[in-house]
Structure 1
Amino acid sequence: MSKVLVIKAHPNTSKSLSLIVGKEFINSYKKSHPDDEVIIRDLYAEEGVPPLNDVTMEAWRKQKFGEEMSQEEKNLLNQHAEWLDELISADKYVFINPMYNHFLPAELKQYLDLTAVAHKTFKYTAQGPVGLLKSKKEMHIQAAGGFYHDEKHQGALPDLGSIYLDNTMKFYGVDKIDSIYIEGADAVPNQRQAILDTAMEQARTKAKEF
């Protein structure tokens, strides 16, 4: 049995194409893999992503030198550990997000900062850093109003967010990376339904193989 961690980095909007396709992927996955455990981590939930701020830095310093921490510092480090352990324990990752200005939402960037921990998701060696999350899979589901992955319609700027996410996963050791990009619904609004239909079919097909 595999554990699937769905990282939903998207505000809850009813017409979001990435959420619609993401839901189809998850439902199709559950049908194809009924014994697997699916966990959804909503980065836009009320509690938000645990921060990396002044309190965090001071708590890490105190932890390193064995100094007494305040309750706030202890609670924050416990949150960090909980979120990190959740990522490490999963076998497969599904990221669902919109493109924001050629990049990822801030909440997803913060999540990646939170989980980039030496000796947990990667380690340093004489030959350079080595990822520790071996033999795991990533699926990235992202919607954008324009075209960024279609050679016929690519814009002037690349999709920097997907490049960053995929490279971070590779840095962690994840070696099976796939994606579903839902693109062009704003650029060619008369093709919105056709774009969605194509992505939904991809979601159903790829969920079976994931």
Structure 2
Amino acid sequence: MTKVLFVKGNPKSTEQSYSLRLGQSFVDVYAAENPGAQVTELDLYESNIPLIDAEVMTAWGKLAQQSELSHHEAAKVLRLGELVDQFLDSDVIVFAAPMWNFGYPPMVKAYMDAIAVAGKTFQYTATGPVGLAVGKKAFITEARGGVWSAGPMVSMEHSQSHLRAFLGFLGVTDVQVLLAEGLNFDPSKGEEILAEAVARAQQAAKAQPVAATV
């Protein structure tokens, strides 16, 4: 059974969000093409995603010294562990997020911080870091108000390029990016642009090998 993790990185509802609609269209078709797939949604704005704050860092220090954690420290560490285990247990990860101010919304970065754990998703070696989350596929569905994949603004794009590099660091190198760009140039054409992106996303979902069922 293929396990699909759908990571939603927009605080808007799906109906109000281009990025979530794009991601949902991919997931729906992928699930239809793979009836045995198990899809789990992780809404980063509705779920408990602990920030790497002073309390978490203190907890990590205590764990290294085998000291007892406070109730709040233990709860945060437990939740971070759950997020890492969920990521590692997934075969396909689908990210849906908009570009905000050249990058992603803050909870996407918070999630990236949560799953980057030495010894679990990557490890340091004598020749440098090595990703441990190998054998997975990732799809990045992203909506943008402007056009950042070509032209003079390319150097200011730090959304999908950052996430792709991050996933590669963790060992996830099979990554496909599906974009809807220029949505704010002419608002009257937003739905048309999204429809074209949705068609590409659905075609990409159909192009995936059908997963074996067990």
TM band (smaller chain): over 0.9
Whole-Å Cα distance in 2 between the matches of residues 69 and 180 of structure 1? 42
3-state SS in 1 of match to 2:79:
helix
Shift of 1:184: 0.5
- Give the aligned residue type for 2:117: V
Question: Relative to 1, partners in 2 of residues 1:126 and 1:79: Cα closer, same or farther, differing over 3 Å?
Answer: same
Instruction: Report the Cα distance in structure 1 between the residues aligned to 2:130 and 2:155, rounded to whole angstroms.
Output: 30
Structure 2 unaligned blocks of 5 or more: 209-214
TM-score (norm 1): 0.93
Deviation, structure 1 residue 194: 2.4
Instruction: Provide the identity percentage.
Output: 33
* Matching residue of 2:205: 207
Which residue in the other structure is 2:160 paired with? 162
> What is the alpha-carbon root mean square deviation over aligned residues?
1.4
Q: In the TM superposition, what is the alpha-carbon distance from 1:189 to its structure 2 partner?
A: 2.7
Counting only pairs closer than 5 Å after superposition, residues 108-127 of structure 1 correspond to structure 2 as 108-127=108-127
Which residue of the partner structure matches residue 97 of structure 1?
A: 97
Q: C-alpha displacement at 1:70, in angstroms?
A: 1.3
1-side partners of 2:57 and 2:154: how far apart? 38
Residue 191 of structure 1 and its aligned partner are, at CA, apart by: 2.7
1:11-160 matches, cutoff 5 A:
11-13=11-13, 14-45=15-46, 47-149=47-149, 151=150, 155=153, 157-160=155-158
Q: Secondary structure at the match of 2:120?
A: coil
Cα drift, residue 118 of structure 1: 0.6
Question: What is the DSSP-based 3-state SS (H/G/I as helix, E as strand, rest coil) of the residue aligned with 1:117?
Answer: coil
Q: Whole-Å Cα distance in 2 between the matches of residues 189 and 202 of structure 1?
A: 21
**Distance in 2, Cα, partners of 1:56 & 1:62:** 10
Mapped partners of 2:92, 2:116: distance in 1: 17
Q: Is the 8 A contact 2:49 2:79 kept in 1?
A: no
Mapped contact 2:48–2:79 kept (Cα < 8 A): no
- CA distance in 2 between counterparts of 1:74 and 1:189 reads 47
Unaligned runs of 5+ in 1: none
**CA–CA distance in 2 between the matches of 1:10 and 1:145?**
14
**Corresponding letter in the other structure for 1:44:** Y
How many residue pairs end up in the alignment?
A: 207
In structure 2, the residue matched to 1:8 is 8
State the distance in 2 between where 1:66 and 1:12 align.
41
